[in-house]
Amino acid sequence: MVHPYAVAGFLVAVFPLIATPGASLALLIQHVTDSGRRQALPVILGTVTGLYIHAALAIAGLSALVMHSSLAFTAVKLIGAVYLIGLGIWTWRSAAPNAAPVSYRQRRLKGADSVYAQALLANVLNPKAAAIYLTLVPQFIAPRQPFDGQILTLATAHALLIALWLAVWTFLILRASHALHTPRFKRIAAKATSAVLITLGIRSAVT
């Protein structure tokens, strides 16, 4: 079992990484702006699922293999970069004034599953998220105790903190609800989101 002080220390250490704007926040802003607060849940769940996948891979040793193999690490980086750039381009095109309108039924059919998948892939294909569980997490694990449960405990704390962070952002976005319903604001938010995603993809590819 992880000592409570270790959990607190891990959360303090990981919070700056959570607070740094990334793909999850960009997707949250875009989808909540476009379709309301219900879209926040699939973004949060997709992000949290991605964290648990990284934790499971770290336990299995697969993340270590990727991080210590330059070829595998580069491949993961490039796949993630291509995904983020492609998602950014799709978001930009969907924000065009002459884009075909999407009906409410189409939104419901595409809806939560699509948003969840976007958030999940954005997290899973981010090698820097995997690095947290290979470089930061070990600093807070007791070496003489089974590490599986310790990693899962820290992953749960990480998941709760990032879920809370995204929930706070959802609240802040919804506070501006008077602006969210204007087509102009939605286009601006979508284009800003696409710019962030493309920038993150390029940065992932070149760093």
pLDDT tens digits, residue range 118-138?
Answer: 999 989 988 778 888 877 888
| Phi and psi torsions of 95, nearest 5° | -90, 0
DSSP state of 204: H
Tell me which residue has tokens 């903190």: 161
Q: Look at residue 198 and tell me whether its pLDDT is greater than 70.
A: yes
Tens-place pLDDT, residues 176-187: 765 555 666 667
Contact present, 9 and 140 (Cβ < 8 Å): yes
Q: What is the pTM of this model?
A: 0.74
pLDDT at position 104, please?
42
pLDDT at position 112, please?
63
Please enumerate in sequence order all residues whose Cβ is within 8 A of that of 129, keeping only pairs 6 or more positions apart, or say none.
50, 51, 54, 123
Number of H helices, E strands in the chain: 10, 0
State the residue range of the domain holding 148: 4-206
pLDDT at position 37, please?
85
Counting the structural domains of the chain, the total is 1
DSSP state of 134: I
Nearest C-alpha neighbor of 149 from the set 77, 78, 75, 56: 56
DSSP state of 181: T
Instruction: Give percent above pLDDT 70 in the chain.
Output: 77
Question: What's the start-to-end Cα distance of the chain, in Å?
Answer: 36
Nearest C-alpha neighbor of 79 from the set 207, 197, 204, 191: 204
The span from the CA of 81 to the CA of 178, in Å, is: 34
pLDDT band at 146 (very low <50, low <70, confident <90, very high): confident
Tens-place pLDDT, residues 82-129: 877 887 787 777 665 555 444 444 444 345 678 999 999 989 988 778
Which of the two residues, 55 and 96, has the higher pLDDT score? 55
Tell me which residue has tokens 């962070």: 165
b/e 56-84 (16+ beta carbons within 10 angstroms → b): bbbbeeebeebbeeeeebeebbeebbebb
Looking at every residue in the chain, the average pLDDT score rounds to 80
Which of the two residues, 40 and 103, has the higher pLDDT score? 40
Find the farthest-apart pair of alpha carbons in the chain and give their distance in angstroms, rounded. 61
Tens-place pLDDT, residues 60-71: 886 676 667 777
